């Protein structure tokens, strides 16, 4: 009769084998998904460098007419969404990471410099709805489209929001939960809503 230690050891081994199987399957799924999006981007006349990596439930949408250019070693995290509208233009440098469940929407222009790291649940959007006419439903008033420029080696913390017509200088840090509505000079740390410098 097997001892309790032997039974426990066998269960532990089975769990480890199962966990390894899940890990391997997920890695294969990520590789297949990444290859699919690599071809998809090129099909829409976009450019993509080496080592594109799109993790589980990550999605890239390109509306006909939109332009997308991605450098080497790009990672789109789990559940993250990259949307390029029909007049959108997105340029992403080398070694850029966009974290889990983050959203990037480009109906105008969004540029992200090399080495920039974007944490989980970040929203970057270069447009918003008009609301100036009280006699029209918001859905019928159209939108304002702008541009966003994020320099090289920028860190954007969890739950931050970057809105239209903003430039973030190189080597800057955007604190978690910040709402960026104005330009951020290079090598500046900002935080808050609206985001303000806290350190230079």
Terminal Cα-to-Cα distance of the chain (whole angstroms): 69
Peptide bond into 194 cis (omega under 30): yes
C-alpha distances (whole Å) from 5 to each of 2, 16, 19, 83 are: 8, 16, 21, 53
Is 61 considered catalytic here? Answer: no
- Of these residues, 20, 61, 120, 129, which one is catalytic? 129
Which residues are designated catalytic?
A: 129
């Amino acid at each position: 009769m097997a001892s309790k230690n032997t039974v426990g050891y066998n269960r532990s081994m089975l769990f480890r084998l199962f966990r390894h199987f899940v890990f391997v399957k997920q890695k294969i799924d990520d590789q297949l998904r990444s290859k699919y999006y690599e071809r998809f981007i090129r099909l829409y006349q976009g450019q993509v460098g080496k080592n594109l990596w799109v993790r589980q439930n990550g999605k890239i949408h390109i509306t006909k007419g939109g332009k997308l250019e991605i450098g080497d070693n790009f990672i789109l995290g789990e559940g993250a969404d990259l949307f390029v509208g029909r007049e959108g233009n997105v340029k992403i440098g080398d070694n850029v990471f966009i974290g889990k469940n983050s959203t990037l929407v480009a109906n105008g222009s969004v540029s992200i410099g090399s080495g920039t790291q974007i944490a989980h649940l970040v929203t970057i959007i270069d447009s918003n709805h008009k609301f100036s006419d009280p006699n029209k439903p918001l859905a019928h008033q159209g939108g304002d489209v702008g541009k966003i420029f994020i320099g090289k080696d920028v860190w954007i913390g969890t739950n931050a929001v970057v809105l239209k017509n903003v430039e973030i200088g190189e080597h800057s840090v955007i604190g978690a939960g910040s709402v960026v509505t104005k330009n951020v000079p290079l090598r500046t740390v900002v935080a808050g809503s609206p985001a303000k410098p806290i350190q230079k």
